[in-house]
Amino acid sequence: MTYRRDSLLDQLRARTPTLRQRMILDWIADFASVHGCSPSVREIGRAFGVRPNCVVGHLHALERKGCIHRHRGLVRGIVVVETGTERSR
């Protein structure tokens, strides 16, 4: 029984953004609402004091978890996926 519970917890963790990912997700949504477009990877990096490759890693994780959709080839191609209470504050 423990194995099944641990397996379910692992699945939940795989779909739930980390605190840092949640902060980035909220910042992207706020940026888009203020500026009318999504931020670039470099803008996200500057806002969080990290290098662009670190931002890309977070964006990949957020996309894998279903929190965002990215339009490949577009500099400002990040779309926050709103599902119910996902962005509740």
Asked if 59 and 72 count as a contact pair (C-beta separation under 8 A), the reply is: no
What pLDDT, on the 0 to 100 scale, is given for residue 42?
A: 97
* Domain-embedded: residue 88: no
Query: Is there a domain that residue 85 lies in?
Result: no
- Does residue 54 fall inside a structural domain? yes
Q: What residue numbers bound the domain in which 63 lies?
A: 2-80
What is the C-alpha separation between 16 and 2, in angstroms, rounded?
21
> Domain count of the chain?
1
Query: Average pLDDT in the 35-57 region?
Result: 97
**pLDDT value of position 84:** 45
Output the pLDDT for position 15. Answer: 82
Q: What is the pTM of this model?
A: 0.79
pLDDT per residue as tens digits for the range 59-71: 999 999 999 999 9
In a domain, 89, yes or no: no
- Amino acid symbol at 70: R
* CATH code for the domain of 17: 1.10.10.10
Asked if pLDDT for residue 31 goes beyond 90, the answer is yes
The pLDDT of residue 65 is 94
Q: Is residue 61 part of a domain?
A: yes
Q: Which residue has the higher pLDDT, 5 or 40?
A: 40
Cβ–Cβ < 8 Å for 11, 65: no
Residue 48 has what DSSP assignment? H
The predicted pLDDT at position 4 comes to 67
